[in-house]
Amino acid sequence: MILGEDGARLSKRHGATSVREYKELGYLPEALTNFIALLGWAPGDDREVVSRKEMIESFTLERVGKTSARFNNTKLDWMNSLYIRQLPADELLRRLTPFLQKAGVEPDRLPEGWLQKVVELHIERFKTLADFYVQTAFLFTEEVDYDPTAVEKHLKKDGVPELLQETHSELSKVEDFDKESLERCLRSLVERRGIGFGKLAQPLRVAVTGKTVSAGLFETMELLGKEKTLRRISHCLSTFCKAGSV
């Protein structure tokens, strides 16, 4: 018997219940096979990631469990993320493509190599193929959905409008909009102002991503590009900071 995390018999109320649903949610077949196999069987050592070939070679009825197993979604997410990170880059892009297309993104129309950089930057952050776009949507869109709590906490503080205006001015002077140049520019700015980098990083992160948490700020801005980064800072100044557009 397979039980839900609450100890009750697994049913539809516990979430996805068919292979098709797990596929649509972005779980890899290799990960799901591995996870389900270990619900009722163990290879005889401490391994939790076991390939299908290894399962076939190691399987014995003596190691099939007699007690009911609990379906742990957190563990499935963890296992799926491991399998995602093990995929070759070209294969991972191939598997991500249907999920991006469903979101209205055509990978073939993106600049060469750009999507691969996005994947590499976020590979440790997404647990399913569908989760990739959830984590990175702000990179693909012109407009951003801003978290109201993040806006209130980081963009409406005293001094932030002036800081973002100066940031916009300094970034507009950066010719090579790469992470190294961006880091030099922004660290020089906070040093001149005599403030910690976090005082600038958080409002700037919210301005360009809409969220308080993201992958590396410099790398993210490089992927966004100069025009989009400056446009988002300007939008926040005129919309949230009430400091006038720049």
172 and 221 together in one domain: yes
User: Residue 225 burial by CB count (10 A; 0-12/13-18/19+): exposed, middle or buried?
Assistant: middle
16 and 92 together in one domain: no
Element (H, E) at 191: helix 179-193
Instruction: Answer whether residue 78 shows pLDDT above 90.
Output: yes
78 and 135 together in one domain: no
Q: Is residue 13 domain-resident?
A: yes
Q: Write down which residue in 140, 173, 205 finishes a domain.
A: 140
Q: Write down which residue in 52, 83, 114 finishes a domain.
A: 83
Number of structural domains (the chain) is 3
pLDDT the model gives residue 16: 60
Q: What is the 3-state secondary structure (H, E, C) of 92-137?
A: HHHHHHHHHHHCCCCHHHCCCCHHHHHHHHHCCCCCCHHHHHHHHH
214 and 159 together in one domain: yes
pLDDT the model gives residue 46: 74
- Find the mean pLDDT for residues 66-95: 90
> Which residue range(s) make up the domain with 73?
2-83
pLDDT the model gives residue 17: 67
Q: Is residue 229 domain-resident?
A: yes
pLDDT the model gives residue 187: 97
Q: What is the pLDDT of residues 108-165, one digit of tens each?
A: 999 999 999 999 999 999 999 999 999 999 999 999 999 999 999 999 988 999 999 9
Q: Active site residue: 12, 53, 66, 173, which one? A: 12
Q: Is residue 246 domain-resident?
A: no
Instruction: Answer whether residue 211 shows pLDDT above 80.
Output: yes
Question: Does the active-site annotation cover 12?
Answer: yes
pLDDT the model gives residue 50: 83
pLDDT class for 42, splitting at 50, 70, 90?
confident
Q: How far apart are CA 74 and CA 70, in angstroms?
A: 11
65 and 136 together in one domain: no
Q: Is residue 42 domain-resident?
A: yes
Q: How many alpha carbons lie under 13 Å from residue 157 in its C-beta half-sphere?
A: 16
179 and 109 together in one domain: no
Q: Is residue 224 domain-resident?
A: yes
pLDDT class for 243, splitting at 50, 70, 90?
very low
> 64 φ, ψ to 5°?
-80, 130
